[in-house]
Each structure stands twice: as structure tokens, then as C-alpha cells.
Amino acid sequence: MPIDGYDEELRSEQRYVAGLYERLDAERVRAKERYAAALRGTGGELVDRDAEVRAEAKRMNRLDIADHGLCFGRLDSVSGERRYIGRIGLLDETNDYEPVLIDWRAPAARAFYVATGAHPEDMRRRRQFHTRGRRVLDFTDEVFGRPGDGERGDAALLAAVNAPRGDGMRDIVATIQAEQDDIIRSDHAGVLVVEGGPGTGKTVVALHRVAYLLYTHRDRMERHGVLVIGPNPAFLDHISRVLPSLGETNVVFMTTGDLVGGLHVTAHDEPEVARRKGSLAILEVLAAAVADRQQVPAEPLPIKLADVTVRIDAETAEWAIQEARDTGLPHNDARATFVDVITWVLTERAIARIGKGWLTGADKQAWEHLRAELLDELGDHDAFAAALDQLWPELTPQSLLAGLYESRDRLRAAGADESLWRAQGDAWTVSDVPLLDELVDLLGGIKPDLAAERERQEEAAYAAGVLDLMVAREDLMDDEDHLIASDLLHADELADRFAERDTREVAERAAADRDWTYGHVVVDEAQELSEMDWRVLMRRCPAKSFTVVGDLAQRRSAAGATSWEAVLQPYVPGRWVYRSLTVNYRTPAEIMAVASALLAEFAPGAQPPESVRACGVRPWSRPVDDDELASAIAEFVQDEAGRDGTSVVIGPPGVPGTVPPSETKGLEFDAVLVVDPGRILADGPRGAADLYVALTRATQRLGVLHRDPLPAVLHGLTELETVAGSD
């Protein structure tokens, strides 16, 4: 397009986009008015008014979020129709509500992502805008068929992938390619596995799929929310802006270490210990550990009552244990049966001895009176309570698991390997989280605090009094000013109404509730999850609706997945499908050539993704000694500080000024400096996968510093004498 024509077209597009923002502002005003009206609303049920207020608040939030990059492109069909594509949809109220902006998730926008020269989808042109704030700075056209002068089919994509990286992941909604869009819009209702090497956009695809599902299944997804599992907090912070930028907020971001609320992970397991904890075989250990706490006394336990001493012997305890286990209830819930059996045996024995010679079987009233006295005495008997706690204690997941780890005897009794022993039982690791979660179900709840229960009863009694008063005054009050008797079914229900109302968003309530079930779960870096991790996540999503993204070649965890079928088939037989991403949009060809040589060495069957671009800068290496290392790192950091974009220094654990490869999984940087690659390779059985991750984080520049001889597999690096020569 000639320069003059381009400038005029740019001004025209700016005018159109400015008009869209005027509509957005007007809709915001209307939304605020509706929200204010909902807050002032009178009449109707409180629940209905709350729902209306929340709905209007969400609507305002979506409109606010849409302000950035409201419109990012245009489609021109072969018939001359124009469709503008953006973050939300807008309608023209003055023209039969014709769409003036189409939501990117709508079917009418699909061609924006899937049209190619070979399959143009009846489209002539795809135009992508580059915007800042509310201004259209420029645009790039892709013409399907015969391009005009200066027009390229890949110009917009290359502009996006070559742009400097920011602190958080940029959504690429405007540059999603056809193979990615097919996955995003998949209608598969079960588990969708997306595998791809570094830079293929796995994470972006997964997050945009969530936005698409939230759009197409709004009611179900909004009620239950979406859970996103990532490998580390830095990664979650990196991606956390994507979904809000697309207008979606009912999403909970967690690592597997966050799945048990309030737990602080402070330690790390050795690979073999992590493997044992991550295996489903640990379920037998946990069940045995619970059973081990249901004990038979080695010697009879005397319980001294006012008139007689009775004993809890092994035979009685065995009977009570069996009766409690036969209920099928969790440990803490079955305790009531255990206590009932023990109490019945002791009272029968006490009655038989106390009443011998004067209490006849016909005197039922005397029998019952004596039994009641004995029950009251046992209820306040400290020694009896201590005996019950010894034989069938109430347990929390933390107390049981910590006690198991700290005792070699308990580990042997549970059939556990002694490698699980540790001096500080509650020095929790990530591998402990699914075990603690499992124990929540094995143990059940703990009897509520008596003081709290009394407070609840007092609230219910007060509510009952209020109910009587309101019913009595019903004929004296206006219908809109009171709750009629039909609304007040029970006093305890009224007490609940007096309690503080939960006004948190779905995401907040879900994150705080261990028993919350989600409408959909996204698992990123899924190759790192153990069998026990998967068990926890499947429990969180009964519908088994998952988007699973990962790369088996990048697995570093000894407990991680070796195949997707082994992980998923037990839970969703026949309900999971596999898709692969083959194009590397992030890593330039020069860097990928080095990483691919390493991949071929440690995972010869894996196919590296094909890079779509070159950066023109060869990755380099430089030998340094111990005295030079710190200054060489500082020189790299200083040099990168003067450039646009981001950078990172990656090294083995313990090297000052570096972060370990595991903390950079899923992240991307313009420039990466890898320190001591040989030591990364030697750091455990998955050292090669760690080095592969480190080498593939860069989008522009890669350098390597090595104190030991450079590993032969990195022969593709250009050897330099000084870091300054790396440019």
C-alpha cells in the first residue's frame, strides 16, 4: 500500500476505534447506573438482590478490563464485509443491534486465527492493529491470494514474537495461529493434553482456551470457577495478567504446594523420596498409618469410678475397633462408634458388679438410673478420656503425618520405607501436600469445639424468639418491611441469615475451600506432577474437564509423568485426547540448534519444535575461573540493563547471583546467561532436562559462562574470550 494511502487508512481506522471507545464509555455509564440501582434495590429476596449486584459488578469489571487493546484487528471477506475483532463484543443499538466489534471468542471471529493462504475461509484480508492506550499506532495486513506490494503473510506474527518481553506474559490473542486456535476452540469435554517443546505457546493456548470455555459455557464455569496449576510462584505471577486482560476473573492460580490451605513448604525431598511419596503405593502406607493409631492396650487400662474399678482390656478394644471400622466412616468420624462400644461394655460391667445381690432384672427403672449415673461419670472422667485418646485419638492430617515421619517404629508398622524418616516431621515438602490432602478424607472431621457449638445453639434460640415475634407482628407490618413466616422455615436457618454474608468472588471462595470443586482445571508443566498430585486434582474436578499442557522431554521430577496414558487412563479412560504444537515462536533458530543437540543426547526420540525465525545473534560461551565469575555475571547484568526487555542469570543451586533452572520453567526472557552448564548436567538424574530448560528461555540472546570444560554436547556455541565480544 502506498505511504499516502496507508496514512489515510490509518486515520480511518483510528476514527473507527475511537468510536468503539465512545460506545465502551457509554456502556460503562449504563453499567454503573445499573449497579447503583441494584445496590439501592428494595423488595424481592436478598439472595436475588445479591446476585444482581454481583452480576453488575462483574459486568463493570469486564468493561474496565477491555479498555486496553479493545480492538486489535479486522477481517475483510471476499464479499467486502468487514468484521472488527476485539476483547469484548459491542453492538450498535441504533441499527438493529448490529455488531460493531466481535468478541474474539465468538464463532464469527474464528477466521481471524485460522485463515491461511491455502485455506482463506472466504476471507480476503486479515489486518492486525498495534495500539497504545486508545491510539492505533500502525497496522499490518495479510492478504490471502495474491499479496500487494509490501504485504507479507507472516508480518504480524513476526512483529509479535520479536517484540521485547515485559514483566508478565503478554496475551497473544491477536496472533494465535491456526494449530493453536484449533486447540483453543476444541469442544472435547474431557481431558485435552497439549504437548509442545519450548516456545510453542502451550501456556498461552491453555489460558486462551480457559477464556474461550468461560465465554461458551458461562453459567457452569462462573458457578464453579477455574483452577490453574503452575510449577512455581514466579510462573504464576508471570501468567496471572493474561486471563484478567481477556475479561475473565473467576480463576484461581496455585502451585501444587498451595492445594492444602495454610501449609508452609519449607524443605525439599531427595529424588528417591519424592518418587516414593508420589507413587500411588503410598496410599497403602497412609491407610496403614491410620490403622496403626487404632490401638489395643498391651495391658488392661483401669478406670476407677466412685463405686467400682472397670478395665478396658484387649478383647474389648478389638471388638470396638472392628465395630468402628465396619462403619466405613473416616477415622475421626468412626471414633464415636468406638467410644460407644467401650462405654457400653464398661457400664454393663460396672452395673453387674455394683448391683450384684440387690438389683434385679425386673427393676428396669433402677437399671436405667444407674446406667445414667455411670454415663455421666464416664463423661467427666479424665482417665477414661485419656484412655480413649490413647486407643483411638482424634487426628489431624498434619499430626498423623508428622508423627509418622518422626518415628521409625511407626514407619515400619505402616510398611513404609525408612527413607521417609526425618527428624522434624512437620518440615513440609511439596511431595507431602497430596498426602495431607488424602488424609483429610481418611481421617474426616474433628468434633466441633464445645464453646463454638454452645454459641451456635444460643444464636438458634435467639432466632427462634425473633421468629415468634415476627409471626406475632405479621399483621401489623408492611409486606416489604418484614420476613413473612413462610420465609422462616427453621430457627437455625434464620440464624444463618443473621451471620455475616459471604460476598467474596467465586475465585476467593474457591481458593479458601478445600472441598470446592471446579468447572475446569488447567495444569501447566504437567509432566512434573506425580500420581498423587493427579489424584488430588481429579478430586477437585468431578466433571474431569482438564486442559493439560507440558513436555515430557522437560521432565525433571523423579515422580513425574513418563507417559500421558499412564497418568490419565486410570481416571478418564477413553475421555482424553492428545494434541501437539510443533512451531517454536519464541526461541530463535540459532539458540534452538544448540538446545536441539542436547535434546537429541538425553531424549533421542523427542522431536524439537521448529523455530519460525532467526535473531541474527549467535549464542556464545566463555571460560572463566573462580575469580572472574562474579565480575563476568555483573558485566552481563549491566549490559542488559541498558537494553529493552528482560534478562536472567541461570545456574546450578548455590552459585551466587543465579536462579536455578527449575524456577524459570515456563518463563521467557530476552537475554539469558547460563552459568556452569556442566554442573547443571551433573545435578541429579534430570540435569540434562534442567539444562535444556535453561537454554530455551531466551528469545533474543544466549550466553554461557563455564568454569569447568564445556560439555561436548554444547559444541554449537561460539567460544569467546571476553563477554564484551558477545554482541
User: Would you list which residues are annotated within the binding site?
Assistant: 196-203
| Cell numbers found for residue 235 | 510462573
- What's the rounded Cα separation, in Å, for the pair 725 and 718? 11
Q: Which three cell numbers stand for residue 192?
A: 485435552
How far is it between the farthest Cα atoms of the chain? Answer: 118
Distance in angstroms (rounded) separating the CA atoms of residues 694 and 12 = 45
Q: Which amino acid is at 357?
A: G
**Residue 175's closest CA among 143, 146, 208?**
208
Q: Which three cell numbers stand for residue 719?
A: 567460544
Q: What does the DSSP 8-state code read for residue 211? A: H
Helix (H) or strand (E) holding 317: helix 314-326
Long-range contacts of 232-236 (CB under 8 A, 24+ apart): 232/662, 232/663, 232/665, 234/663, 234/664, 234/667, 235/524, 235/525, 235/665, 235/666, 235/667
- Containing 443, the helix (H) or strand (E) segment is helix 433-443
Q: Are 453 and 301 in contact (CB under 8 A)?
A: no
Of 264, 265, 259, give the one whose Cα is nearest residue 511.
259
Classify 685 as helix, strand or coil.
coil
- E strand or H helix at 196: strand 191-196
Instruction: Pick the closest to residue 531 from 282, 721, 358, 345 (CA basis).
Output: 282
Residue positions in the annotated binding site for ATP? 196-203
- Alpha carbon distance 401, 561 (integer Å): 25
Amino acid identity, position 517: T
Number of neighbours of residue 86 by Cβ within 10 angstroms: 25
Q: Using CA atoms, how far apart are residues 204 and 238, in angstroms rounded to an integer?
A: 11
Closest CA to 205 of 225, 186, 221: 186
Task: Please answer whether residues 435 and 535 qualify as being in contact, where contact means their C-beta atoms are separated by less than 8 angstroms.
Answer: no
Q: How many helices (H) and strands (E) does the chain have?
A: 27, 21
Q: Give the Cα-Cα-Cα angle 166, 153, 121 (nearest 5 degrees).
A: 110
Tally Cβ neighbours within 10 Å of residue 415. 13
Using CA atoms, how far residue 104 sits from 88, 190, 513, 560, in Å, is 7, 23, 33, 36
Q: Which amino acid is at 427?
A: A
Residue 565 vs residues 219, 423, 712: alpha-carbon distances, Å: 31, 37, 35
- Ramachandran region of residue 505, left (φ > 0), alpha (ψ -120 to 50) or beta? beta
CA–CA distance, 447 with 450 (Å, rounded to integer): 8
